[in-house]
Structure 1
Amino acid sequence: MERKKHDITKESRPRLMLPEIGRVEKWFKLSQKVNVTQFCTQSDGKKRVYNNKDAVIDHSTSMILDPCYVSYINLFVNGVLQPATLYEVKRGVLILKSADVPAKHVPLILQFIKIEP
């Protein structure tokens, strides 16, 4: 007896067996306080070194902090997170190490995250 192409019987259907997963609850203790501040400036299209005096005061919530006293530092150039290899931060100084300099008026946002116990 010849079988039709589209003739699907109960035995020919694939079986899908899903394992039962028990419910597991995990509790995590978060730190007491996370403090996030930022230093904002604009590129002039030429320089690689920025100081506290270059801050856009209306948008900055801090000056350039000492990396020893913060947990994390992120640099955003024109809204894009940059790898840590492309910049260096010292107290009061941001140094760009990239091959090219951001275009004039491009925003630079240096974010400081401090996690306190």
Structure 2
Amino acid sequence: MDNKYCRFINEEEEIPKPLLLFPACSFTEIRTKIPKRIVAYEFYAVANGCQRVFVEEDGITDIEKQVIPDPAKVSYMNLFINGVLQPHDNYTVEAGKLTLNTVDAPITGTPIILQMFII
């Protein structure tokens, strides 16, 4: 075989060691804070076709006791009607009470989900 790209190494010939370069590591210390505990509340209800005011007793009782906390203690809240996120102008929340500010009421069987987060 006479190939200029192939080279056979004799047993007496020493094979050169590979050149290994390791990345330089930074030894600066990075500290992070543990995130705060978040408490989430959900209120699930089903519309009856004419109701625009929902209280805690209107919530679905199959899941657990439904709670609507005081909005002054809540950091963030979302209202979903039939799976669609509603603008804040469309509803008012008080302790134990959700009021829809729309002209019409959701149709019968429409799911209503109010999410509330306390950070």
Establish whether TM, by shorter chain, passes 0.5.
Answer: yes
**Is residue 99 of structure 2 the alignment partner of residue 95 of structure 1?**
yes
Name the CA shift for 1:60/1:107 in 2 (closer, same or farther; >3 Å): farther
Secondary structure of 2:68's match? coil
Look at both structures and tell me which one has the larger radius of gyration over its CA atoms: 2
Unaligned stretches of 5+ in structure 2?
A: 1-30
Task: Please state how far the C-alpha of 1:36 moved relative to its aligned partner.
Answer: 1.3
Amino acid at match of 2:111: P
- Structure 1 runs of 4+ off > 6 angstroms? none
2-structure distance, mates of 1:28, 1:76: 34
Q: Any residues of structure 2 matched to 1:1-117 within 5 Å, and which?
A: 29=33, 31-60=35-64, 62-115=66-119
2-structure distance, mates of 1:83, 1:97: 11
Secondary structure of 1:68's match? coil
1-structure distance, mates of 2:89, 2:71: 15
Alignment RMSD: 1.9
Contact 1:39 1:60 in 2 (8 A): no
Contact 2:60 2:66 in 1 (8 A): no
Which one has a larger percent helix, Structure 1 or Structure 2?
1
Secondary structure of 2:38's match? strand
1-structure distance, mates of 2:101, 2:73: 22
Name the CA shift for 1:76/1:30 in 2 (closer, same or farther; >3 Å): farther
Secondary structure of 2:72's match? helix
**How does the TM-score come out when normalised to structure 2?**
0.68
Secondary structure of 1:69's match? coil
Unaligned stretches of 5+ in structure 1?
A: 1-26
Offset from partner CA, 1:17-46 (integer Å, 9 cap, x none): xxxxxxxxxx97563211112010110100
